[in-house]
Chain A
Amino acid sequence: MAAIFTVDPRSGVPLYLQLIEQVKRAVALGTLGPGEQLPTVKALALDLTINPNTVARAYRDLEHDGVIDTSPGRGSFVRMDGSVGESRRAVDDVARSVLGDAVREAKTLGLARKRAAEIFGEQLDRWFPAGEKE
């Protein structure tokens, strides 16, 4: 389980939000399958060297968002149903935010819209070579 989640404590984004995003990303990508068990709060906190209450809060919010189920004494598990959709939506949100930042940065650099679109197209070709789906 160790390699699946990483968080950056020095980022301005609260750790529990980072963790929620990480879990949703893993579920959206299928790295965490339906019904799969998440690490315990204590184990994950120790693994990431972060506050256990942060992990607990992330798990609570994930349960509220319908991504996982927690049963006392047994642990937290990825939901069998519907969670993938929610997770995909969450990943979309992250992508929107990251790409939005990139476009704003381009604007700050003084690029015209057309030039920005050209460079963006170049990057798309680079990272999505012809023939690769998704």
Chain B
Amino acid sequence: MSSTYAIAIRDFTKRYGSFEAVSNLTLEVEPGSICGLLGPNGSGKTTTFKCLLNLARPTSGTMQVEGAPVQPATFEELAYVPERSALYEWLTLADHLEFNRRSYRKYDAKRADELVNLFRLERKKKVGKLSKGQQTAVALILAFSIQPRILVLDEPASGLDPVFQRVVLDLIIEAAAGGATILFSSHQIGQVERAADRVAILKNGKLIVDGTVDSLKGSEKVVEAIFDQAVPEVDGLTSDARIRRVERSGRILRAYVKEDSDGIARRLSEYSPKNVAVMDLNLEDIFINAVGGETALPQGDR
């Protein structure tokens, strides 16, 4: 445990007029760790990044990097890859690299070259003519080539095919192995599951899940009870704070719990099921349970 978090967001709220994009978000990222930020589109991830980096102003709350609000000097050690391309479409990759070389003390030209070859990019082509995935690759090269201590990446795999998505993940892991701190958002939950120490899930601007991947998997489980006949009415199941979601189908009852799965299992046992089992969930399941709800396909006539 270190005394200063690499990134400390405390009680952060951002309002646009009457619309609250993010509400009371607290997120702390340890130095040298990888934190994955998940959430549906519009849940406030990009807004959070923008306010963290001083691109927008928080309505309330504090955002700190290495113990202080972000200042120009912070960007010698912090690299940002935005969701939407911020590149100059009329310039070439070579121009962008030269811009980096002149702007940062720690720019590593050799590293940049390695990455350009790795992503198989042409240096003399105007960036505007590159595909979305290639533009993402350019932004990543610009970020990683300055050897930053902190990386803030908004959808870093956007537009990339699976091979290059793995490359991006490797870059993140390599940077973390070198002591860098990474905060990234992704829709690729499998990536986050492999690489992240911590996961935070946002929904409608609120933090609904926050913990290490291991502890989440330890507490977020599904308790499945199979009954002899139709599932009985179980009192107060949906109002139980430990339960995220309940599924009933024929003789099976499934309760997706966020904690105390054993307690829930005991409760269900009181209704004399044929079998009660506690099963693990992967991160994708955890995410969908936490966030989902209104997105199930219509069933037609039941």
A and B touch in the complex (CB under 8 A): yes
Chain A residues within CB distance 8 Å of chain B: 9-17, 41-42, 45-46, 49-54, 108
Query: B275: CB under 8 A from chain A?
Result: yes
User: In the assembled complex, how far is the CB of residue A103 from the closest CB belonging to chain B, in whole angstroms?
Assistant: 13
CA distance A85 to B76 in the complex (A): 51
Say yes or no: A45-B280 contact (C-beta < 8 A), given A10-B193, A14-B214: no
- The main secondary structure of chain B at its interface with chain A is helix
- Contact between B279 and A52, CB atoms less than 8 A apart: no
Say yes or no: A49-B193 contact (C-beta < 8 A), given A12-B217, A14-B218: no
Say yes or no: A12-B282 contact (C-beta < 8 A), given A49-B195, A50-B195, A53-B32: yes
- The main secondary structure of chain A at its interface with chain B is helix
CA distance A52 to B174 in the complex (A): 8
- Contact between B218 and A51, CB atoms less than 8 A apart: no
- Contact between B214 and A53, CB atoms less than 8 A apart: no
Number of interface residues of B (CB under 8 A): 31
CA distance A13 to B279 in the complex (A): 11
A residues in contact with B281, CB < 8 Å: 12
Chain B residues within CB distance 8 Å of chain A: 32-34, 166, 169-170, 173-174, 176-178, 190, 193-197, 213-214, 217-218, 221, 226, 275, 277, 279-284
Q: Which of A42, A45, A51, A108 has the most CB of B within 10 A?
A: A51
User: In the assembled complex, how far is the CB of residue B209 from the closest CB belonging to chain A, in whole angstroms?
Assistant: 16
A residues in contact with B217, CB < 8 Å: 12-14
Contact with A42, one of B32, B33, B174, B226 (Cβ below 8 angstroms)? B174
- Contact between A46 and B170, CB atoms less than 8 A apart: yes
Say yes or no: A9-B166 contact (C-beta < 8 A), given A50-B173, A52-B177, A108-B275: no
A residues in contact with B279, CB < 8 Å: 12
CA distance A17 to B190 in the complex (A): 18
- CB-based nearest B residue for A42: B177
A-B contact pairs, 8 of them (CB 8 A): A11-B280, A12-B217, A13-B280, A46-B170, A49-B166, A49-B170, A51-B197, A53-B32
B residues in contact with A46, CB < 8 Å: 170, 173-174, 177
Say yes or no: A49-B197 contact (C-beta < 8 A), given A11-B280, A14-B217: no
